[in-house]
Chains A and B, each alone.
Chain A
């Protein structure tokens, strides 16, 4: 199966949220509170916001792990409520927040999960594994037969990325994929994912806590607070025209981080 768009139509948004609301039981505020957003095909959207603001909820609504209480979500113009959730998910790459590699499968088997379900033939699967491992800079010979427990945190996250990318899905959901990685490796992975996205021109939605990461990777940035989208704009626009105090405060932390980095380098 090729990774063509989920439906037909010109100039359609890859992802569209319309008045989407979601509340969990025993929660004071809504996890998503009347969220409206339109994401163009080929965009690399980063989602930034503090813990508990609804980033993961936003992601899980797209692959129907969560169901909206209200509103509509459309992928390429098609309301996902009307599509088969299993088939929908097979066209969406998903990297979960806690890596989520299957511990009883080798690296190769993890990457082959979706291809096997899609019944690819053997050579195509083997080529896919090889290609993906090279893409995330892991030597296939060395890594393909290892189990996740035999990998470092950063290597696991690379495999998680490879597993999500292998079927070349038109939409990629990445929930803090570089969460537990040191600064240098993180930088490398950021460059890699940017390169991978640029080659593929697929739609990426990428959650992060790190404002520098959000501004560096995103062609557009979503800033969230307590279930609301505060601002949705290009990184440049966000820096030049922060739309409210929350965003200004976020940007201040960026300056502090920058100063810190510069000071640190001076020592």
Chain B
């Protein structure tokens, strides 16, 4: 899931200086689960903005705010409204998808943090950096690219102390976790599988699964 956090309210207001009439767009998927862009947050944000002199003329909640077709369909609700701006309560992807489909300035209400696991409601952990070359098969299903602070794929640095990471002692050293997991799985020989050359991928990336596409 894409993990987002609400921007500081002052920062949001600062972006919206001069805006009198706005519409809100949330996201019923990740942002709703992060308590940043669901039904409840749309209502809260509406009340907050109206308290600060910004009229909220509409609020829509696409199933997925990063899905162009769904967003296009739901944004029809804004047609004919006299709006100065749209405030989007999704991740950065959602904000851009909305901005691609309205002829208005679109402002992010959230900061987009990482791709992570929902441990339980309200507790998230970064689990994947989308490196494009997954090594989980050799690391017991624990991602060193993400969960090692240095992204080391060839084994640990010398910096762990009592199993904790040198960079942030609140974090377990990912390589100790990997070692323990592989030990339990009887797969310690995986530690010697060379990670090979890592590649930095050029951005922006695209993927086309349509027939005939390369």
Same complex origin of A and B: no
Residues of B within 8 A of A (CB): none
Residues of A within 8 A of B (CB): none
